[in-house]
Amino acid sequence: MPLHIGDLAPPFTLPDTQGEPVTLADFHGNRVVLYFYPRDNTPGCTKEAIAFRDAYSAFQDQNIVVLGVSTDDAKSHEKFVNKFDLPFPLLSDAGGKVAETYDSYGLKKFMGKEYLGISRNTFVISPDGRIEKIYKKVKPENHIAQLLQDLV
């Protein structure tokens, strides 16, 4: 069932790069940018992660938490974080269950093949835990600039 602006954000607990559980409730009282991306170390996902990294201080200045989610495991995330010096947590959603609750996991097509995977979507969650903004099928090139413009 698709999420709408004003809905309560679905709760989740996912492991970070160290295998430590991260829960949405941990950030209650903060605005959260929750972004779903298909795979570590792929061109679009790398571009998006680097853009978040480069703008991270602007998010911090606004007390906004950034969380990235894909189906990659903690080891893959750790390599990705270290390779690109990412200052925010990447969470492992094995099987895509959390992505599914955020309407960000399903059938995709690439070069004539169909497969299940994560869609590049971003959700802004308000300090009281409600969906504030939804960005579907974002383009990494201009997404972070648009987010900052909308949030600041």
Residue-by-residue pLDDT tens, the chain, 152 positions: 689 999 999 999 999 999 999 999 999 999 999 999 999 988 889 999 999 999 999 999 999 999 999 999 999 999 999 999 999 999 999 999 999 999 999 877 777 888 788 999 999 999 999 999 999 999 888 889 899 999 87
| 35-52 tens-digit pLDDT | 999 999 888 899 999 999
Among candidate residues 45, 81, 138, 144, the one labeled active-site is 45
Pairing of strands 64-70, 90-92: parallel
- Verify whether residue 45 is a known catalytic residue: yes
CB 132 within 8 A of CB 5: yes
With pLDDT > 70 as the criterion, what percentage of the chain qualifies? 99
pTM for the model: 0.93
The domain limits of the chain are 27-151
At 24, list the tokens: 């949405």
Is 27-151 CATH 3.40.50.300?
A: no
